[in-house]
Amino acid sequence: MQTKITKVPYKTLNPGELKPSTRPFILLQGNWSILASNPITTIKFYKGDPHQHLNLIDQIQQTLNTINPPAANLPFTNGLIGFFSYDFGNQLLNISNATFPNTPLSYWLIPQEITIWDHDQKTCHQITNTYTDTETKTLKTLCDKASSPAPTTPDPIAPNKLTSNITKTAYQAKLKQINDHIIAGNTYQVNFAQQFSLNKKLDPLQIYQKISKTNFATYQALIVTDQFNIISNSPELLISYTKDQLVTEPIKGTDANADRLLKSQKGDAELTMIVDLSRNDISKLSQPGTVKVRKHRALMQLKHFYHTYSQITGTPKPNLKVSEIIKAMFPGGSVTGCPKHRTMQIINHLEPTPRGAYCGSAGFINHNGTLTLNILIRTLWQRHSYLSLHAGGGIIADSNTNDEYDETIQKARAFTQIIT
């Protein structure tokens, strides 16, 4: 493989300038922005053994690493970029085989063209990876093995007015069932979500531009393909892995008033539970005695409200595989609850529809196995004219059903104001 890295004048990306011929492409935004396109091949995994799939992801990453692109002080130069759906996590833990219609469990590109913006340093680099015929054949063979055909499932029928999959009365009844599970000791916290859907044909690039302008978040993702689009305005990091450090930053606690949030016993309890879960998850990947809570209940300000979050770090064990990281961390505890496995079973029983991409993770896997993955909250799924948006929150013993319902409406507002 030949890699060409060219420094070009810094210019803020306008997603509206991306042309249909560029598709599929993936844009990740934060302190760095990464635009990846022109894939040599694509992984589209809809059905099969999730463990075998992760083993093949390991093989693909290791194959890319043997190609040995030149070292560069950039977050991503060669590797995989894409997402795992939440339903992939359900299958990984043998909870349910149900999937959101026409949504891949796992979708990844190996891009040949990458543009990277460093917004702090105001620099921009364009990267072109050119593979030999032998390398191309090997990678395509592996990616074909990691893929499975898309099902011939009819698209869901959405109403012409934004509608939830659950009434407020039914939502409150579900929260009563969650409280019964808490009293019985089956769970301590359940992240319960409702789904909104709408039949409306919209340009994904315009939606992304508007959400970025009005409510920018630090782990945004825009995934545009010929089959579906994902527009995510996520502020949450599932896992960052470099050879020196593992980092996870769970979010729990939401309020329009910062002082009230910091004084909230409920918010404190929600986050503390998930920090304990996240410490346990990251410790599976870390050297003994290195897991630390670097921040606890730090304040994050967004457009319409505040969150509290924590930062947990660890020193990674040698030679971690991508599959090990996913099995330890995915899905994120903040979007399941705790204990994770039993609570995911409860979610699967109570939520009316599978989550699909919502609460999955998008990001990149470098050729050397280092990676960064977000949590796909505040995320819009689009296929043709069908739009789907979930919003949820952590339910604990002293949750107020009216407050919890209102919180989901508040979290969805940034998107609903744009698409309705």
pLDDT tens, residue by residue, 223-259: 999 999 999 999 999 999 999 999 999 999 999 999 9
CA gap 333, 340 in Å, rounded? 6
Q: Determine the pLDDT at residue 15.
A: 72
Q: Determine the pLDDT at residue 11.
A: 87
Question: Does the pLDDT at position 340 exceed 90?
Answer: yes
Question: Does the pLDDT at position 20 exceed 70?
Answer: no
Q: Determine the pLDDT at residue 216.
A: 87
CA gap 369, 76 in Å, rounded? 11
Cβ distance 102 to 153 under 8 Å?
A: yes
Q: What is the pLDDT of residues 266-290, one digit of tens each?
A: 999 999 999 999 999 999 999 999 9
Average of pLDDT values for 31-59?
96
Q: What is the pLDDT of residues 165-195, one digit of tens each?
A: 999 999 999 999 999 999 999 999 999 999 9
Q: What is the 3-state secondary structure (H, E, C) of 262-277?
A: HHCHHHHHHHHHHHHH
Average of pLDDT values for 191-203?
96
CA gap 320, 412 in Å, rounded? 36
Distance of CA 137 to the CA centre of its chain: 30
Q: Determine the pLDDT at residue 306.
A: 93
Q: Which of 354, 375, 33 is nearest to 208 (CA)?
A: 33
Q: Determine the pLDDT at residue 35.
A: 95
Q: Determine the pLDDT at residue 393.
A: 95
CA gap 38, 40 in Å, rounded? 7
Q: What is the pLDDT of residues 293-336, one digit of tens each?
A: 999 999 999 888 899 999 999 999 999 999 999 999 999 999 99
All domains of the chain, ordered by start, with CATH?
Answer: 2-419 (3.60.120.10)
User: Mean pLDDT score of the chain, rounded to an integer?
Assistant: 95
Task: With 0.95 as the threshold, say if the pTM is over it.
Answer: yes
Q: What is the pLDDT of residues 143-152, one digit of tens each?
A: 999 999 998 8
Q: What is the 3-state secondary structure (H, E, C) of the chain?
A: CEEEEEEECCCCCCHHHCCHHHCCEEEEECCEEEEEEEEEEEEEECCCCHHHHHHHHHHHHHHHHHCCCCCCCCCCCCEEEEEECHHHHHHHCCCCCCCCCCCCCEEEEEEEEEEEEECCCCEEEEEEEECCHHHHHHHHHHHHHCCCCCCCCCCCCCCCCCEECCCHHHHHHHHHHHHHHHHCCCCCEEEEEEEEEEECCCCHHHHHHHHHHHHCCCEEEEEECCCCEEEEEECCEEEEECCCCEEEECEEEEECCHHHHHHCHHHHHHHHHHHHHHHHHHHCCECCCCCEEEEEEEEEECCCCEEEEEEEEECECCCCCHHHHHHHHCCCHHHCEECHHHHHHHHHHHCCCCCCCCCCEEEEEECCCCEEEECCCCEEEEECCEEEEEEEEEECCCCCHHHHHHHHHHHHHHHHHHHC
